[in-house]
Amino acid sequence: MLFRGSGVAIVTPFLENGDVDYDGLETLLNFHLENSTDAIIITGTTGEASTLNNEEKLSVIKKCVEVIDGKIPVIAGTGTNNTLASAELSRVVSNLGVDALLVVTPYYNKANKEGLYQHFKTIAEASTVPIILYNVPGRTALPVPVDMVLRLSKIDNIVGIKDATGDLAYTVALSSVLPKDFAIYSGNDDVVVPLLSVGGDGVISVSANVCPQETHDMCQAFFDGDVERARDLQIKLFPLISSLFVEVNPIPVKEALNQMGMPGGTYRLPLWEPTQATKDLINKNLKDLGKI
């Protein structure tokens, strides 16, 4: 298993001129090393990968690998709706020192069932490191059926799934058929403990950008058998988690980091800064947690 616990879907900070803030990224990565984050997921949805060109993706990933220096796993997002382009990017990135790749379901053009299988299979064959599937139908409008995940799990280097369905019945169905060593990670911060209780192995988290230690502790408490503490942490973090999704991710989480004095940075279009109401809500919840 690549990791158990809290993997952060880390933001990509941008400077005012729109360039990647590599010093800011290093600051964020060190923040996670200091606060018990169990894995870094770079160039994902929260990292605004859809607006990074390939040269930027490669340089961001290289920077992450350099700073983390093998201390915890680094997982890079390489999936798009272009299978051959994703396969080529995955081939290149898998040789940069990452521990695994996160590959999203194709979006917009979508796929029929066999096309979906061949999409993931083609990318897996191009990669020399393990693959985590990313099922996020709220973004892609294309769910990955349980029987498809089971079929894909038989490909040697497909080793896990980020389940961002928010549907615990789906998670239970996955747990009931998948091999025990096939990892299931929550893609929804508001149901981490419930997902762990039905066989999950951790979370790939947005809110861990803001609360890395607490998110790690929540998972670890559950693994240690202290379900009550895990539950209490889930409930304690719930108001902040909710506020991080009142506008499309990663708009609120970057605002939260900026309010904390961390390098959340600016956004790339089509994303834009949040409304004042969102800023005020985030401010209240950060103060309630003692983050500012």
Q: Is 192 in contact with 218 (CB distance < 8 Å)?
A: yes
Please report, in angstroms and rounded to a whole number, the separation of the first and last CA atoms in the chain.
Answer: 36
Task: Report the SS3 class of residue 100.
Answer: strand
Report d(CA 214, CA 216) in Å as an integer: 5
Whether residue 134 lies in the annotated active site: yes
Amino acid occupying residue 172? V
In the chain, the amino acid numbered 201 is D
For the stretch 240-256, pLDDT in tens is 999 999 999 999 999 99
Q: Active site includes 162?
A: yes
Out of 162, 254, 267, 291, the active site residue is: 162
pLDDT digits (tens), the chain, 292 positions: 799 999 999 999 999 999 999 999 999 999 999 999 999 999 999 999 999 999 999 999 999 999 999 999 999 999 999 999 999 999 999 999 999 999 999 999 989 999 999 999 999 999 999 999 999 988 998 999 999 999 999 999 999 999 999 999 999 999 999 999 999 999 999 999 999 999 999 999 999 999 999 999 999 999 999 999 999 999 999 999 999 999 999 999 999 999 999 999 999 999 999 999 999 999 999 999 999 9
- pTM value? 0.96
Q: Please name the CATH architecture into which domain 5-246 falls.
A: Alpha-Beta Barrel (3.20)
**Owner of token pair 């108001």:** 239
CB 24 within 8 A of CB 13: yes
Contacts of 191 (CB under 8 A, 6+ apart): 166, 168
pLDDT given for residue 1 in this prediction: 76
Q: Which residue is catalytic, options 134, 170, 185, 267?
A: 134
Residues in the chain: 292
